[in-house]
């Protein structure tokens, strides 16, 4: 069906090798010949067969990005950053969604391994690195994304969640709130634990500050609302004046619980709220929410960077770990 170099060569009256040269090193070929070949390519609508190229060259000009949830803006921004950086290298990014399912993740990895992608950037659904070890042993560079700063065996790029939690709490302390609540959970999620630790440390370092943990089962708007209801009386009694939420959905939920119902609690006057992730809904909440922002695009770009490094890393060298510092986007929910 589709034309091949052979047909192009025949039409242009040259050999297949020359067609290939026109495509890959036009300067090695006389201008007139280049023109002839280009014309033939045009006429036949020739499109190189990636499979043949890859078979010959051994590598595919593509890399895989396996994320937990494509509909999460965090990951789509990471993907955008990765695509931009990859494009500079002439690499295509295949985006795959594991939906937090180890089975789906495994299926995707299988496909990508058969595809001989030149690297895998992944946020693993579980803490089981056996499959990834295997991939690496077989020569496919692996980079952990938003995970694994503590994994000596893999390169990784992540964000310092302890620092992020600290940033959120410190901001509240700096603006005069001293009786804080941390809303988030479950604590077995590393990110949540780190954010809580960072917040606690900041409060401990501040003379006279306190922080209470309000655990949640998941990081949803509904759970945030529930936690907010529980917080209401404490705020009324003056025992809580600032809330650090482990993500923005929780923060929005907490804010709603405060604002609604009879006897509304004013934000930020009676209670200030800080979220985490800086999703677009944080900025367009009823009272726009201050939030901790992660450098998402940069994370993606760096992951590609590390992947390239891994590809050429010497046996002895240790994989590199990049940890970014988050920053704070201040909005009305903590204003005065």
Q: Contact positions toward DNA, by CB under 7 A? A: 2, 4-6, 13-21, 23-24, 28-30, 32-33, 46, 48-49, 52-53, 55-58
**In terms of CB distance, is 66 or 243 closer to a second copy?**
66
24 binds a second copy (CB under 8 A): no
Tell whether residue 281 is a contact of a second copy (CB under 8 A): yes
Which of the listed partners (a second copy, DNA, none) does 20 bind, with a CB threshold of 5 to 8 Å by partner kind?
A: DNA
Q: Nearer to DNA by C-beta: 28 or 204? A: 28
Buried b (16+ CB within 10 A) or exposed e, 226-258: bbbeebbebbeeeebbbbbbbbbbbbbbbbbbb
Counting contacts by CB under 8 A, is residue 4 touching a second copy?
no
- In the list 16, 70, 187, 311, the residue contacting a second copy (rule: CB under 8 A) is 70
For DNA, give the closer residue by CB, 56 or 207: 56
| Binding to a second copy in span 135-194, by CB under 8 A | 137-139
Residue 134 interacts with a second copy (CB under 8 A): yes or no: yes
Q: In this complex, which beta carbon is closest to DNA, that of residue 26 or of residue 264?
A: 26
Residue 59: strand, helix, or coil: coil
Contact with a second copy (CB under 8 A) among 115, 151, 178, 212: 115
What Å distances lie between residue 174 and 111, 120, 160, 192, 336, CA to CA? 51, 42, 21, 23, 12
Least distance (Å) between residue 33 CB and DNA: 3
List the interface residues with a second copy, window 283-322 (CB under 8 A). Answer: 284, 286
3-state helix, strand, coil in the chain (%, to 5): 50, 15, 35
Is 51 near a second copy (CB under 8 A)? Answer: yes
Q: Give the DSSP H/E element, type plus range, for residue 199.
A: helix 190-205
The residue (of 47 and 205) whose beta carbon lies closer to DNA is 47
CA 264 to chain centre: 37
Among 128, 222, 317, 327, binds a second copy (CB under 8 A): 222
By CB neighbour count within 10 A (0-12 exposed, 13-18 middle, 19+ buried), where does 79 fall?
buried
Q: Which of 27, 45, 88, 318 binds a second copy (CB under 8 A)?
A: 45
Q: Output 136-141 pairs: Cβ under 8 A, ≥24 positions apart.
A: 138/113, 140/112, 140/113, 140/116, 141/307, 141/308, 141/310, 141/311, 141/313
**Closest CB 103 distance from DNA, rounded Å:** 23
Q: How far is CA 105 from CA 100, 120, 130, 139, in A?
A: 8, 12, 13, 19
Give 238-292 as a DSSP string.
Answer: TS--EEEESSHHHHHHHHHHHHSSSSPPPTTTT-EEEEES--HHHHTSSSPPEEE
Residue 54 as a binder of a second copy (CB under 8 A): the answer is yes
Q: Is 102 in the site for a second copy (CB under 8 A)?
A: no
Which of 10, 33, 38, 76 contacts a second copy by CB under 8 A? Answer: 76
Residue with smaller CB distance to DNA, 50 or 283: 50
Is residue 52 within the footprint of a second copy (CB under 8 A)?
yes
CA dist., res. 241 & res. 228, Å (int): 12
The footprint of a second copy (CB under 8 A) covers 1-2, 45, 47-55, 60, 70-73, 76, 79-80, 92, 94-97, 99, 110-111, 113-116, 134, 137-139, 221-222, 256, 260, 281, 284, 286
């Amino acid at each position: 069906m589709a034309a091949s170099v052979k047909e192009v060569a025949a039409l242009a009256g040259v050999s297949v090798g020359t067609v290939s040269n026109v495509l890959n090193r036009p300067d090695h070929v006389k201008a007139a010949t280049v023109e002839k070949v280009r014309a033939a390519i045009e006429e036949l609508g020739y499109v190189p067969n990636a499979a043949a190229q890859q078979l010959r060259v051994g590598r595919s000009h593509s890399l895989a990005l396996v994320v937990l949830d494509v509909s999460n803006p965090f990951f789509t921004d990471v993907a955008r950053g990765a695509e931009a950086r990859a494009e500079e290298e002439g690499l295509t990014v295949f985006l795959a969604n594991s939906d937090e399912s180890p089975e789906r993740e495994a299926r995707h990895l299988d496909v990508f391994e058969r595809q001989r992608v030149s690297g895998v950037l992944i946020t693993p659904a579980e803490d089981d690195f056996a499959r990834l070890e295997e991939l690496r042993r077989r020569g496919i560079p692996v980079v952990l994304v938003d995970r694994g700063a503590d994994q000596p065996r893999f390169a990784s790029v992540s964000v310092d969640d302890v620092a992020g939690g600290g940033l959120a709490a410190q901001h509240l302390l700096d603006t005069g709130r001293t009786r804080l609540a941390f809303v988030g959970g479950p604590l077995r999620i590393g990110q949540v634990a780190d954010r809580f630790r960072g917040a606690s440390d900041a409060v401990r370092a501040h003379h006279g500050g306190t922080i209470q943990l309000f655990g949640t089962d998941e990081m949803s708007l509904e759970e945030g609302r529930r936690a907010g209801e529980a917080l209401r009386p404490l705020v009324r009694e003056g025992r809580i004046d600032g809330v650090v939420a482990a993500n923005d959905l929780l923060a929005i939920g907490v804010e709603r619980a405060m604002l609604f119902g009879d006897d509304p609690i004013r934000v930020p006057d009676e209670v200030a709220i800080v979220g985490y992730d800086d999703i677009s809904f944080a900025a367009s909440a009823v009272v726009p929410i201050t939030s901790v922002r992660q450098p998402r695009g940069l994370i993606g770009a760096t992951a590609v960077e590390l992947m390239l490094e891994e590809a050429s890393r010497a046996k002895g060298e240790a994989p590199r770990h990049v940890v970014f510092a988050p920053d704070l986007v201040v909005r009305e929910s903590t204003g005065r």
